Structure 1
Amino acid sequence: MIYSLPGSDYSANSLSMSRASDTAYEKIRRFILYGGGHPGMQLTEERLCDISGVSRTPVRDAVQRLENEMLLVRSASKRLSVADWSDDEIDEMFALRAMLECHAAERAAQRMDADGLRRLRDVNGGLTRAVQRATPDIATFLQANRQFHDLILEYAQSPRLSKLLPALVEQPVVRRTAQQYSKDDLMQSGKDHDELIAAFAARDQDWAGAVMTSHIRRAFHSFHLATRGSDPA
């Protein structure tokens, strides 16, 4: 005869629910950032269950996490939708990204080793090849760009930055900005990465911070011109 330990069924169910919640979170988040989710799109629980392939309870837990990340928002009538940011909110996102990623680059410059430099060069090589195609491969560009910035964050060795930055970097504004870049803009992104690698190799934190700030501000102005048009001089 097999006996169950007291509470073992509860623990197993709790673990299963946690895994289902994580699955829902990852799949819904991916849908918002890289799939069919677009700013302002309304989403029902039924739709989210279809997207994630799990039941309503773990979906509700995932939705709460995504609301905390400001990727999903609720209206006054409690309707759920993909966040659609105002111009002022987008301006603030880029300003915060510039400050935080500048700090991450400065910290990384003090801690970067030969293996880190090699990994950065490999990732940026893949990014550059994706851009050099007759029709730039935006999906590969985005993946490589994320890996590059994730590596910098890894070498910054700051738990606080690791919690604060992803919510800003991975919001849909990044995807929309990349899709609005010209081929020359995309190439410039790779060149900025090359200069960051040079700054890291020199262990020059001021240089690394300045390049990162310029890199993010360049992305901001590209987004500004593509979405709002240039203001008259």
Structure 2
Amino acid sequence: MAKTSEQVYRQIRAGILAGDFEPGMFVPEDEFASYCGTSRTPVREAIARLVSETLLQRSGTRRVFVPLWSDGEVEELFTLRAKLEAHCAERAAELITPDEIAELRTHADFIDAALGEEADIPGFVEGNRRFHATLLAAARSEPLNQMMRIIVNQVIIHRTAERYKVSDLEQSQRDHRDLIAAFTAHDVAWAGAIARNHIRRAAHAYRLRANEAATHGAHFTEDMD
């Protein structure tokens, strides 16, 4: 059975976010078609959609590639996300229901289980996704939902947790518990401050791990000389 453009879109999107297509990589339509096991027609439609979401970009010669963000652009992405997450948390603090708070607690419990004796990174990522999806739903804002989708779905943001140490994951989870406390109190300013600091801390951890990786790579190169 032929795949629909929606199925192809989801498969390519998942592949980009999973790192199957590296940032800076040019990807021809036929390579995407082979990856999805389909023809080029639904691939073209999927590419157009992914370009509109900035998960793919086109060069001056119309070639399609996965964006490669500069350090300044990465910082801008985190800055934008911090502002959006703070606004989201502030709205949620006003509008959230007891059922939604209970749902957030369930997600936080799921994350606690993932941070057991041996940290389960995929489990943490899934629990974190559920937590923030519930938070976004509680904010009840479609414009915010659309803007968050564009920012959060960038590869850099999506894969931040992969660079975390266990201590980073544990701090992130403490932020989640603090957010639940702020929502329970319906304290708008408190919720916004926690969310903003949550993302700024993530940005710091990302830069720190990136610098460590770069330093390790430099040392490895020197050792090979």
Using the size of structure 1 for normalisation, the TM-score is 0.86
Count residues with an aligned counterpart.
212
Over 3 Å counting, the alpha-carbon distance change for 1:77 and 1:133 in structure 2 is farther
Match of 1:198 in 2: 181
User: The residue matched to 2:145 in structure 1 has which SS?
Assistant: helix
Match of 2:21 in 1: 37
CA displacement 1:173-195 (0-9 Å, x = unmatched): 13432111110100111110000
For residues 109 and 157 of structure 2, the distance between their equivalents in structure 1, rounded to whole angstroms, comes to: 20
Check conservation: 2:111, 2:128, Cα contact below 8 A: yes
The match for 2:7 among 23, 30, 34 is: 23
Check conservation: 1:108, 1:155, Cα contact below 8 A: yes
Match of 1:215 in 2: 198
For residues 110 and 103 of structure 1, the distance between their equivalents in structure 2, rounded to whole angstroms, comes to: 11
Identity of aligned residues (%): 42
For residues 83 and 15 of structure 2, the distance between their equivalents in structure 1, rounded to whole angstroms, comes to: 28
The match for 1:79 among 58, 63, 68 is: 63
Match of 2:156 in 1: 173
For residues 225 and 94 of structure 1, the distance between their equivalents in structure 2, rounded to whole angstroms, comes to: 14
One-letter code aligned to 2:183: F
Aligned-residue offset at 1:35? 4.7
Of the two, which has the highest radius of gyration? Answer: 1
For residues 29 and 225 of structure 1, the distance between their equivalents in structure 2, rounded to whole angstroms, comes to: 27
Check conservation: 1:107, 1:205, Cα contact below 8 A: yes
Aligned-residue offset at 1:83? 1.2
Match of 2:97 in 1: 113
One-letter code aligned to 1:140: G
User: The residue matched to 1:36 in structure 2 has which SS?
Assistant: coil
Alignment of 1:147-162 (within 5 A): 147-162=130-145
Deviates more, 1:124-133 or 1:205-214: 124-133
Aligned-residue offset at 1:31? 0.5
The match for 1:69 among 53, 62, 84 is: 53
Aligned-residue offset at 1:78? 2.8
Match of 1:126 in 2: 110
CA displacement 1:38-86 (0-9 Å, x = unmatched): 2122212122112333321111111011111111122233332211111
Q: What are structure 1's unaligned runs of at least 5 residues?
A: 1-15
For residues 166 and 119 of structure 1, the distance between their equivalents in structure 2, rounded to whole angstroms, comes to: 21
Using the size of structure 2 for normalisation, the TM-score is 0.89
Q: Is residue 40 of structure 2 the alignment partner of residue 48 of structure 1? A: no
